[in-house]
A = this chain, B = another copy of it.
């Protein structure tokens, strides 16, 4: 019996141009492309072990065994894609550790499904290209597609499984941005992203968001390639505001901002007016990602650390690609 066991690591990522809404929920084909940066140090490490006598898949996440239910089903279904490719029906024990709070606006499903994809493919000895791994990860969680390649990443929306994948548009060392994540809640969000994506189309503003996304993608891509922080900051905040507009006007309306979120957004805008290179972006949760130009992070941390309601500040620079441990 071969060694059907492997461990992989992947970093979370922060989207500068957001993913919100699918043209195909089953395949997680998004309504528009997105651009992100991997987050060094905000990592999921996952071991997949098919060398066992399990009758069904089991998973231990951050030290706790997952009960039977939708979370375990989602992992099983994801491994099914690879089992099918490998023509291997074995069940697996999945052990996964994530070193940052999950479910509160830092994309833990991104690093989790990227790591699971690489570990499962490696364990079952299915050789996939980076592009194929990115598309595979997308099936588990859309944003996981962006945690497969390294550095600054663009996910091309595509209209088929094969055409919807992410790739690097600039390497890790291209631009020394720092994401200072202001954590104001560690609670699991009330409405998860998967459900949220299916609500997006009910907003009267989503069609306009989709129609205007290509322009924001181009502006952001160019700003990253030219390291133009002013242009970058403007489009990143705009895109975050546009996504939350769609969220707040859907049926049901989704409000992810807390009062402290607004305080932080205003503080960041004020800092930028004072000449500090920083902008905010917010995912499907209350925490605020403060993206800092090179050397701006200390000033931003000094301004944020004493704001009431800020529990913790995490820092991350650009992270590398997902990888299988030797």
Chain A, interface residues (CB within 8 Å), range: 20 to 34
A287 smallest CB distance to B (angstroms): 15
Q: Is A263 located at the chain interface by the 8 A CB criterion?
A: yes
CB pair A205–B259 under 8 Å, yes or no, is no
A325 smallest CB distance to B (angstroms): 43
A273 smallest CB distance to B (angstroms): 11
Q: Is A170 located at the chain interface by the 8 A CB criterion?
A: no
CB pair B265–A255 under 8 Å, yes or no, is yes
Name the contact of A249 in the complex, choosing from B211, B245, B262, B265 (C-beta under 8 A): B245
A309 nearest in chain B by CB position: B259
CB pair A248–B249 under 8 Å, yes or no, is no
Q: Which of A189-208 touch B at CB < 8 Å?
A: 204-205, 207-208
Quick one: copies of this chain in the complex?
Answer: 2
Segment at the B interface, from A34-42, A63-71, A235-243:
A235-243
Which residues of chain B come closer than 8 Å to A257, judged between CB atoms? 262
A206 smallest CB distance to B (angstroms): 8
Name the contact of A248 in the complex, choosing from B245, B251, B255, B259 (C-beta under 8 A): B245
- How far is it, in angstroms, between the C-alpha of A238 and the C-alpha of B258 when the chains are bound? 19
Q: Which residues of A contact B (CB under 8 A)?
A: 204-205, 207-209, 211-212, 237-238, 241-242, 244-246, 248-249, 251, 253, 255, 257-263, 265-266
Q: 6 shortest A-B CB distances, which residue pairs?
A: A245-B245, A259-B259, A208-B208, A204-B212, A241-B248, A205-B205
